[in-house]
Amino acid sequence: MALVSTRNPLNIGASARAMANFGFARLRVVNPYDVAFREARSAVGAAPLLQSAEEFSSLADAVADCKLVVGTTSVGHRELQHPIRRLEYGARLIRRSLAQAPVGLLFGSEKFGLSNEELSHCHWLMRIPTVDPDLSMNLGQAVALCLYELARDPKAVEARPERIRRAGAAENEQITAMLIDALRQSGYINPVTAASTEEKIRRLVRRLDLAARDAPVLLGMLRQVLWKMGGRE
Amino acid sequence: MALVSTRNPLNIGASARAMANFGFARLRVVNPYDVAFREARSAVGAAPLLQSAEEFSSLADAVADCKLVVGTTSVGHRELQHPIRRLEYGARLIRRSLAQAPVGLLFGSEKFGLSNEELSHCHWLMRIPTVDPDLSMNLGQAVALCLYELARDPKAVEARPERIRRAGAAENEQITAMLIDALRQSGYINPVTAASTEEKIRRLVRRLDLAARDAPVLLGMLRQVLWKMGGRE
């Protein structure tokens, strides 16, 4: 990944952090504002990734070993001379290329993006699908989005959540029994309609779909209430 | 979207910018560090979105009108008491809920994330799939990723690139003819093998798969070379 003519040390730092977050290692900076790069590099807690970033004075040198060079753009009014791919689709193409050879992903300066000269080194451009193309993105955020999408596992959207184990039938019935007991002692259950009330209670407990770990908590609460009402322990 | 106990004005500003980038409008801040919020709000170019942000002193009030409340987490070592969904999957659930009622999406403080008390207001948690769960994300970048994923069009990954029109057969043949002419005049083509050489040239021009707009440029170059070699104009 190459940052071209970046001005703000915070953006260089944020870009390096996003690379670490999503498992990318090789950062190159082309013509950074000297002060910015030195500041970012010497910041407390600067990532090792930032320490090993390579500096280039020409973009051609920075991407010399890349088989594919992709520029990022917010697509302003400029008449662009390249095919433009949306991030979601472009990232898929880049992932495929990365399996064979290094790919250069370029981010331009905060103020002007990539210049036409810089764009001419690119095979194609990638744009982040924001709602208003005239409202540019923050550089660090744009880098994070691109790397997130590159690291994306297409199957993850189908992934089931990490489920919480539900209480089993035995635990639900134990709670039901104790609740019926407590409600009987409290006078809630009318002896005449007791049978149907008890069924209602059983269904209600099933509807709660309790988590397994909540079952003993509820049992403890009921036990205490039963004890207080003077019933059996 | 609610920012809880945010400290850094730059992060409040970056979050507001990401909201504007991806079409979200209602920002709520809960217990921001006063100075940070005032600074972010008064920053030059602060988004209108930031001007209209609502401030709350309690999280319960901030999410009172939400049917679903989702917390974000980097999942450190803390033993979490909630179901956790990966961003890609969780965003799908949130999109579905958003069609019916407001959803609260919470981001905790830069340093500590959401506290256990704050988490207890959430129905479930969402995590960004970073490679190292111990390396937290920058807050502004985390916000941008979540909103990008929420705004995502699942079909976009299939979208074909915005294609550049290719040169047609007539243009390719015009270039071929002029190139053959130039190469003949230059002495490149051996009269004995001329026929097969010309076929090679024709195939080569087809392989170039020229863009339509590049055809006249190449024709112009060839015309100039022909003129210089003293052939027909």
In chain B, domain spans: 2-158, 169-228
Residues B173, B101: Cα–Cα separation, whole Å: 61
**Per mean pLDDT, which of A90-99, B81-90, B204-213 is the most reliable?**
A90-99
Report the pLDDT value the prediction gives residue A151, as an integer from 0 to 100: 93
Instruction: Please report which confidence band the pLDDT of residue B144 belongs to, taking 50, 70 and 90 as the band edges.
Output: very high
Tokens of A146: 């691109």
CA atoms within 13 A on the CB side of B139: 25
Distances (CA, A) of B188 to A184, B205, B206: 107, 16, 20
- Chain B residues close to A161, C-beta within 8 Å: 83-86, 89-90, 124
Question: Does the pLDDT of residue A77 top 60, yes or no?
Answer: no
B130 touches chain A (CB under 8 A): yes
Would the CB atoms of B21 and A131 count as touching at under 8 Å?
A: yes
CB atoms B89 and A160 under 8 Å? yes
Alpha helices in A72-213 (DSSP H): 87-98, 116-119, 139-151, 169-186, 194-208
Mean pLDDT over B45-60 rounds to 85
Mean pLDDT of B8-15: 90
Q: Which of chain B's residues have a Cβ under 8 Å away from the Cβ of A14?
A: 138, 140-141
| Residue B151 contacts A, CB cutoff 8 Å | yes
Cross-strand bridge partners of residue B54: B28
Residue-level pLDDT at A15: 93
**What whole-number percentage of chain B has pLDDT above 70?**
91
Asked whether the beta carbons of residue A161 and residue B128 sit closer than 8 angstroms, the reply is no
Give the minimum alpha-carbon distance from A210 to chain B in angstroms, rounded to a whole number: 13
Rounded (10°) angle between helices A139-151 and B9-22: 60
φ, ψ of residue B30 to 5 degrees: the values are: -115, 125
Alpha helices in chain B (DSSP H): 9-22, 34-42, 48-51, 59-62, 87-98, 116-119, 139-151, 169-186, 194-208, 214-228
B74 touches chain A (CB under 8 A): no
Phi, psi of A113 (to 5 degrees): 70, -155
> Which of A130, A140, A158 is closest, CB to CB, to B140?
A140
- What is the pLDDT at residue B78? 61
Residue A182 has pLDDT above 70, yes or no: yes
Partnered with residue A56 across adjacent β-strands are: A30
- Please report which confidence band the pLDDT of residue B176 belongs to, taking 50, 70 and 90 as the band edges: very high
Beta strands in A35-177, from DSSP E residues, in sequence order: 54-56, 68-73, 84-86, 103-107, 124-127
Smallest CA–CA distance, residue B31 to chain A, in Å, is: 24
B138 touches A at CB < 8 Å: yes
Task: Name the pLDDT band for A103 (thresholds 50, 70, 90).
Answer: very high
Closest listed residue to residue B209, CA positions, set B177, B154, B172: B172
Across B13-27, average pLDDT: 91
Domain B2-158 indexed as CATH 3.40.1280.10: yes
Mean pLDDT of A19-30: 92
CB contact (8 A) between residue B86 and residue A156: yes
Q: In chain B, positions 27-46, which contact chain A (CB-CB < 8 Å)? A: none
The pLDDT, as a whole number, for residue A144 is 95
Express as a percent the part of chain A with pLDDT over 90. 35
Residues 83-112, chain B: which have Cβ within 8 Å of A?
A: 83-86, 88-90, 92
Residue B180 in this model has a pLDDT that exceeds 80: yes
Q: Is residue A115 left, alpha or beta, with left meaning phi > 0 and alpha meaning psi from -120 to 50?
A: beta
ipTM of this predicted complex?
0.70
Average pLDDT over residues B114-141: 88
Contact A141 B140 (CB under 8 A): yes
How sure is the predictor about A165, in pLDDT bands with cuts at 50, 70 and 90? confident
Strand partners, B72: B126
The pLDDT score that the predictor gives to residue B136 is 82
Distance CA(A87)–CA(A66), nearest Å, equals 20
Mutate to test the interface with A, among B70, B88, B96 (most CBs of A within 10 A): B88
Answer yes or no: is pLDDT of B77 > 60: no
Q: Judge: A137–B153 Cβ closer than 8 Å, yes or no.
A: no
Chain A residues in contact with B128 (beta carbon < 8 A): 21, 148
Section B123-140 average pLDDT: 87
Give me the pLDDT at residue B233, please: 45
| HEC-encoded secondary structure of B172-221 | HHHHHHHHHHHHHHHCCCCHHHHHHHHHHHHHHHHHHCCECCHHHHHHHH
Note the pLDDT tens digit of each residue in A200-224: 889 988 888 888 888 998 898 888 8
Confidence of residue B109 (pLDDT cuts 50, 70, 90): very high
Q: What is the mean pLDDT of residues B95-119?
A: 91
Which residues of chain B have a CB within 8 Å of the CB of A18?
Answer: 137-138, 141
Cα A230 from Cα A221, distance rounded (Å): 14
Q: How confident is the model at residue A58 (pLDDT cuts 50, 70, 90)?
A: very high
User: In a 3-state reduction of DSSP, which class is residue B106?
Assistant: strand
Is A129 within 8 Å of B158 when comparing Cβ atoms? no
> Which one of B89, B153, B156 has the shortest CB-CB distance to A157?
B89
Per-residue pLDDT tens digits for A128-142: 998 887 788 899 999
Residue B150 pLDDT level (bands cut at 50, 70, 90): very high
The mean predicted confidence, pLDDT, of chain B is 86
**B192 in reach of chain A (CB within 8 A):** no
Length of chain A: 233
Helix (H) or strand (E) holding A215: helix A214-228
- Residues contacting B129, CB < 8 A, separation 6+: A151, A153, A156, B86, B87, B88
Given this model, what pLDDT does residue B46 score?
64
Mean pLDDT across A152-167 = 71
Residue B209 has pLDDT above 50, yes or no: yes
The C-alpha atoms of residue A211 and residue A222 are separated, in whole angstroms, by: 17
Residue type at position A63: V
Dist CA A63 CA A28 (whole Å):
9
Set of chain A residues whose Cβ sits within 8 Å of the Cβ of B144: 137-138, 141, 144-145
Is-contact A27 A56, C-beta < 8 A?
A: no
- First and final CA of chain B: distance in angstroms? 68
Using 50, 70 and 90 to split pLDDT, how confident is the model at B143?
A: very high
